Amino acid sequence: MPYPLMTYSQEIIDRIGKLAADLTPPSEIAALLDLDADMLRAEIAMKDSPVRAAYMKNKAATAHMLRQQEIQLARVGSPMAVELTGTYLRDMNADEDF
């Protein structure tokens, strides 16, 4: 069942982005900010939503930082980091559409 889109204040959008940067799942973001979880998920699913933009950008920034740390560990010989960076490379290749 589709949900009507909500109008979120910039303050709420910024808080959603901060929580996404902390890798907080949408259901927990909704609970912490007293939002309807299904409506928040619907908003995140909308490609042109400012909520989605904040959520995805901040989540991606944290993922990027974590990958950078893993790459540094792989460079100094951590076997687990080498394995993880190989997974990141396979994921990247799978995501490329060219």
**Residue ranges of the chain with pLDDT lower than 50?**
1
80-92 pLDDT tens trace:
999 989 898 899 8
| Structure tokens given for 49 | 């939503």
Instruction: Report residue 95 as tokens.
Output: 């995501």
Q: What is the pLDDT of residues 51-60, one digit of tens each?
A: 999 999 999 9
- Residue 4 has a pLDDT of 54
- Determine the residue type at 96: E
| SS3 state at 53 | helix
pLDDT at 24 (0 to 100): 97
Nearest one of 16, 14, 18 to 26, comparing CA atoms: 16
The predicted pLDDT at position 44 comes to: 97
Residue 85 near residue 74, CB atoms below 8 Å: yes
Instruction: Give the residue extent of every domain in the chain.
Output: 10-95
**Residue keyed to tokens 């259901």:** 27
Predicted pLDDT at 7: 86
